Amino acid sequence: MKVPYGYLSRQFSNPTPILDQIKELVSEGDFTLGKKLEKFENEFSNFIGSKYAIGVGSGTDALFLSLKALGIGDGKGYKKDEVITTANTFVATVGSIETAGARTRFVDCNEKYVMDVNKVEEAITEKTKAIMPVHYSGQPVEMDKLLKIANKYNLYIIEDACCAIDAEVDGKRCGTIGITGAFSLHPQKNLNVWSDGGVIVTNDSKMKEKLHLLRNHGMKDRDHYAFYAYNSRLDPLQAIVGSHLLPDVKWITNKRIEIAQKIDKGLEDLKEYIQIPNRPLNERRVYHMYMLLVQDRDKLYNYLLKNGVDAKIHYPIPLHLQEASKHLNYQEGDFPTAEYQAKNIISLPAHQHLTDEEVDYTIEMVRKFYL
């Protein structure tokens, strides 16, 4: 049996309804910003529970533009602004901080693979301007604790919720808790489009106005420019795809949760070999990636691939040890939890288009490897 990690061919086996709407767009010629994008932005903000949603070119741009809107990254040399984030995340998180002109300060992770909020306060310096928690793999960060720290030190929170559409913590939607929340519409996300795409959400009207300018060259109108800025507009074609799929997000998320719970149960007795993270009841996890800490990770990975289960490794080298981070002067051993997880985490297929037989086979193959 073959168990695929990707699912796009199954999800879009009948693209006709979307293509029909794209034909309408072609006939209208409304290819930049426009009504289709406004429609999707309104639908997205209503779904997430924010006042405003701003469609941009990618989740990375959503983070980058959030920083620029707050004026973070304007310092030079030793005066550079600092942004605190976690060592265990996708490169886009740190890439947005560094390309905005700020400097990254890492903190370690906890056993749920996300920012250890208890480590944040000790990382704050006089240069710290913001905290960027990452709801990594769709697992929420402890936001109530983080908000107290941010308020104590008068710091912004920019949420990297790129993996966390429809995730919640303490009854609050991930992405709606900080000054902004950044979401990705990458094809592998639980709300996906046919290319890159991103959304910034905020409840602050001034931020909304600044972000509208930042994503569109700083243009107030066709002939007046408030400042020089960027070109990062969500394509109306992708907005059509997003609007078409948005009503399915609840089902997609619930199905992923159902499959993750089935895998949890199927492996829960293998405690000698597998560490299933704590699943607090106050959190809604969306399982962009279903990740486990396992013994003999690389051997298991190769065994699963050999037997048709398309497992993945996310990611074998933590960001503080990457060549791109040399200027930050971190060393091996600085963030032991993140480093341990990078060597021992595996991601199993757990998407909404898997059959019961494929999920059962995945569980069976993991069990066979260890037993």
Task: Return the pLDDT at 120.
Answer: 98
pLDDT by residue, tens only, the chain of 371 residues: 999 999 999 999 999 999 999 999 999 988 889 999 999 999 999 999 999 999 999 999 999 999 999 999 977 667 799 999 999 999 999 999 999 999 999 999 999 999 999 999 999 999 999 999 999 999 999 999 999 999 999 999 999 999 999 999 999 999 999 999 999 999 999 999 999 999 999 999 999 999 999 999 999 998 999 999 999 999 999 999 999 999 999 999 999 999 999 999 999 999 999 999 999 999 999 999 999 999 999 999 999 999 999 999 999 999 999 999 999 999 999 999 999 999 999 999 999 999 999 999 999 999 999 99
Task: Return the pLDDT at 79.
Answer: 76
Task: Return the pLDDT at 158.
Answer: 98
Which residue(s) pair with 131 in the sheet? 84, 157
Spans of all domains in the chain: 8-247, 248-370
Give the β-pairing of 224-225 and 274-275: unpaired
| 8-247 CATH choice from 3.40.1390.40, 3.40.50.2300, 3.50.50.60, 3.40.640.10 | 3.40.640.10
Torsions phi, psi for 8 (to 5 deg): -65, -35
Task: Return the pLDDT at 365.
Answer: 98
Homologous superfamily of 248-370 in CATH?
A: Aspartate Aminotransferase, domain 1 (3.90.1150.10)
Task: Return the pLDDT at 368.
Answer: 98
What's the CA dihedral at 183, 155, 230, 102 to 10 degrees? -110
